[in-house]
Amino acid sequence: MTDLPILRLKPKANARALRHGFPWVYANEAVTDRRTKNLTPGSLAVLEDGERRPLGLATVNPNSKIIGRVLDRDSEAVIDKAWFLARISKALDMRDRLYDTPFYRLVHAEADGFPGLVIDRFGDTCVVQPNAAWLESRLDILAEVLAEVVGVSNVLKNASGRARSLEGLDDVNEVLLGTAPDAPVPVLMNGATYMADLTGGQKTGLFFDQRPNHAFAASLSKGARVLDVFSHVGGFALAALAGGAAHATSVDGSAAALALASEGAVQTGVADRFTTRQGDAFDQLEVLASEGAQFDVVICDPPAFAPSKPALEKGLRAYERVARLAAPLVAEGGYLGLCSCSHAAELSLFRNASARGIGRAGRRGQIIHTGFAGPDHPLMPQLAESGYLKSVFFRL
């Protein structure tokens, strides 16, 4: 028997969802007595239902709205190196089957059995985002296991995740193992080379989730004029050029990101067909319209306008505005791809907002494709938040 503290659900809390795989316990569902409130964030506890029956082993953060995260269905599990090794090995096995290059999301949080943990692999380096308190005291074990199982030499901690502040964690990046790369890392995807800044770029340095959507956009782009808005390091533009686009333009607010995109175009061998425009994306869409610009394929991949339910209505209006400004730039019979990484804006709401924007621009479209994150970003069926990314492609 374990001597761990108990995290108990209130009698009327929904234990059934947890029994069926839901991984979170909200603070208003748990008995929060003095002992529970005094637990150190990241502590382990046995999770029990209101009738004192065990539901599993959980990590507790009494300062978070998500007071409990289920780590293991076995309430007597030991969270040691062997536990990490087994789960990292399982995650790696699937990625090895999916990809023939060492560039992918290795761990996608709850969906891979690691609540709050994101790991992206860039060849010989793994970038770790520990977004829950239980991970902070176990980063040395995690780095050791990544070196042993995955075979990487470098493990970096990225502390920029918004969730860290909600968990009461710091925003300090550090090297957990080896050294940080002193230059952007070239990443091969869809025939293009992307330059990933692992220490100064957005999130972990590159967004692997859009890989299949990049590929679909590239399939539309042979001989086409392409516009990639909110492009970061050239995601859709470089894939389109590698797929035979006649020309591509990347628009982004970050000069540093566009510099990486330009270097990626050089490395891909398409620099003569690539241009950039730096500035606010909404402003640039309006300027392009005033110039009478037309493109065969336009893709807009903005940041999360609706990162939470309170921001949903404002976010949907922003997505509608993107569609309204982008649609006039699409040539007759051309294609408009619209993306959202907001988990609060589920697919039907995002699709409807996009269609409204297209209609307000005086255009009509047929939906030809709906895309999601790649299989290295698995979806946990019980947790809608794990399936945040969606893209909708219209022919106008």
| Helix pair angle (281-290, 312-326), 10° resolution | 30
Contacts of 385 (CB under 8 A, 6+ apart): 343
Is the CB of residue 71 less than 8 Å from the CB of residue 115? yes
339 labelled catalytic = no
Contacts of 348 (CB under 8 A, 6+ apart): none
CA distance 125 to 146: 10
Catalytic residue among 126, 300, 339, 341: 341
The separation between the first and the last C-alpha atoms of the chain, rounded to the nearest angstrom, is 64
CA 210 from centroid of its chain's CA atoms:
9
Instruction: Evaluate the CA torsion angle 151, 156, 162, 163 in order and state its sign.
Output: positive
CA 171 from centroid of its chain's CA atoms:
18
Contacts of 20 (CB under 8 A, 6+ apart): 382
Helices vs. strands in the chain: H and E counts, helices first: 12, 19
Instruction: Evaluate the CA torsion angle 207, 209, 211, 213 in order and state its sign.
Output: negative
Q: List the strands of the sheet with 125-130, edge to edge.
A: 103-108, 117-122, 125-130, 154-157, 174-177
* Residues with active-site annotation: 341
